[in-house]
Amino acid sequence: MFSKILIANRGDIALRILRACKELEIKTVAVHSTADNEAMHVRLADESVCIGPPHSSKSYLNIPSIITAAQLVGADAIHPGVGFLSENSSFAEIIQAHNIKFIGPKVQHLKDMGDKIKAKEIAQKIGLPLVPGSKGIVKDIETAKKEAQKIGLPVLIKASAGGGGKGMKIVQNEDDIKNAFLSAKNEARAAFGNDDVYIEKYLSNPRHIEVQIIGDSFGNVFHLGERECSIQRNHQKLIEEAPSPALTNDEREYICNLSSKAAKVMGYESLGTIEYLYENGKFYFIEMNTRLQVEHPITEAITGIDIVKEQIKIASNYELKWKQKDIKFTGHSIECRINAEDPKTFMPSPGKIEQFHSPGGLGIRIDSGIYSGYNIPPYYDSLIAKLIAHGKNRKECILKLKQAIKEMVIEPIPSTLELHQNLLEDPDIINGDLSNYLIDTDKILATCQQAVTICWSRGEQAYWAAKNGNNSRVNEIVGQMKESDPYTAFPEITRLFGTIMGDNRAQELAYNVLSGCLAGYGYGKL
C-alpha cells in the first residue's frame, strides 16, 4: 500500500479522495493554486504545496509544478481526480518516468480512449454497438457534405479530442453543414488545441446510459451497474440516477455484461465508465471515460462499495477477489449537481458563502468542499456540491431528495438548488420519462438568430413597457409574440429582459417564455 498520495485536484473530489486515503491510513498531500489557499481539502491534508497562481493552466494543469511538488514531499503516488489531468496520457507517462504511481488506468488506454476516433475503432473491434458515422476524421467541407448525405440528416459534427459538449454541432439542413463544420473545428481548436472532427448520426430523442467498470492488474474485470444521466444542459449533466428507470432487467443485464466483457478484452485496469446513447431499445457506444466519475456516489450507494478506495488499492497491486454474482444492487440513488450559477440564466455566481447548512437524514449524502465563510473563486468549474439520496425505491429516493433540497442553505450566492427543486416536481421526471431533458441552449439560440431581427420592434416595446412598470402592455406584447412563434419570443424576451434582471416581473416573464419554448419544442422544462 502507498505511504503518501498527492491529490492533483481541487474541490469536492479532492476532499473525497482525501477521505478515502485517511480510511486506508495513507498520508495525503494537497496541491493548490493561490485562489484555493483556504480550500477545505488544503486545510485537512497532512501537507500542502502551492503550485501556482489561480489560472488552471499555471496550477492544476502545470505538470512540472505537480511533479516537483510530489518529489519535494516524497509522494509515491498521484491521484488525478476528475477533469484537469485525469485523462492526460502524457501526465501519466511523466509520472511513471519519475517512479511515481499514477492512480488510474494504463497509459495506452488513456491514449486510445482519449481519441474518440480510435475509441470507436476499438469499440467496433470488441463488439460494442456504434452510432452510424464517418469512419475517421473528416478533413474538409466537401467530405463533410458527402458523409452527411450518406449517414442521413440530422447529423452531429463532433470534436475528436476533449469532451463536455465542446466542439459539437447539430446539423439539421444541408445548407448548414459548412457553418457547423467550421464552427465545430474552431471551437475544438480553442478548447483542446486539436481541430479534428468526425460526423455521426444525430439521435433526436435518446437517453444517456453509462456502465461503471472496475478492473485490476490480475485480469479481473467487473461491472458495478449502470447509471442514467439524461438530464443535461448543453451536454453537462445535472441529475444522475442508478439504476436507470428506462431499462428492463434483460436490457440492464445485456449492456452491463457486454461492457464488462469488452473491458476485459481490453485488459482494462482501474475505474472506467463506458457511455451509451439509448433509443428505441438499442444502445450506441459514445465514449469511455478512463477515470473516476463525478457521479460515482450513486454507484457506491446502490452497491455499498467504496470505489475510490478500491481504485487506490488496485493501483497498489491489490487483487479484486470478487465474482460478479457477489456484487449486490440495493435500492435507488439520485445525485443532483449543485452549481454556483443563477438557476434561470445559468450565469456563474462566484463569491462569499455567508450561510451554509447541509441537510441530513438516513440515505442523504453531501460531497462538497464549501463551508460558511468560503469564497468561491471565479476561475474554475461552478460545481460546488453534490447532493445524493438513497432510498428503498425510486419514489422514496425522490421524496428524500426533495426534502434535502429544501433543507439545504447556500447563501447569499445564487445556486441551482431552485432548478433542481423544479425538476423534481416535474411529472415527466417523477415518472422516469427523461429523454426530453437534453436541454441544449446553444441549439435553441442558433435556431433563433433570424427571429431576433424579425421581432426587434416588439421586443423593444416590451422592454420599455417593463421599465415603465406597464405590465399589462408587456403581457399584451408577450402574448402577440408567443402566438406568432415561441422561437421568436425566446431570444428577444430573454435578451432584452436580461438587461434588467433587477426587475423581478421582467425576469419572471423571460423565464416563463423560455420554459414554454423548451416545452413546446420537445426539450423538456426548466
The set of catalytic residues is 291
**What is the distance between the alpha carbons of residues 261 and 284, in angstroms, rounded to a whole number?**
16
Closest CA to 5 of 27, 24, 25: 27
Q: Which residues contact 483 (CB under 8 A, 6 or more apart)?
A: none
Which secondary-structure segment (H or E) carries 101? strand 101-102
- Residue 439 grid cell: 436541454
Which secondary-structure segment (H or E) carries 4? strand 4-7
Q: Which residues pair with 63 in a beta bridge?
A: none
Alpha helices in 383-448 (DSSP H): 394-407, 417-423, 427-430, 441-447
Q: Which residues contact 478 (CB under 8 A, 6 or more apart)?
A: 462, 489, 493, 509, 513
State the pairing for strand pair 270-279/207-215.
Answer: antiparallel
Classify residue 434 as exposed, middle or buried by CB count within 10 Å of its CB (0-12, 13-18, 19+).
Answer: buried
Do residues 466 and 506 lie in contact, with contact meaning Cβ atoms separated by under 8 Å? yes
**b/e string for 233-258 if b means 16 or more Cβ within 10 A?**
beeebbbbbbbbebbeeebbeebbeb
State the pairing for strand pair 221-233/438-439.
Answer: parallel
State the pairing for strand pair 47-52/77-79.
Answer: unpaired
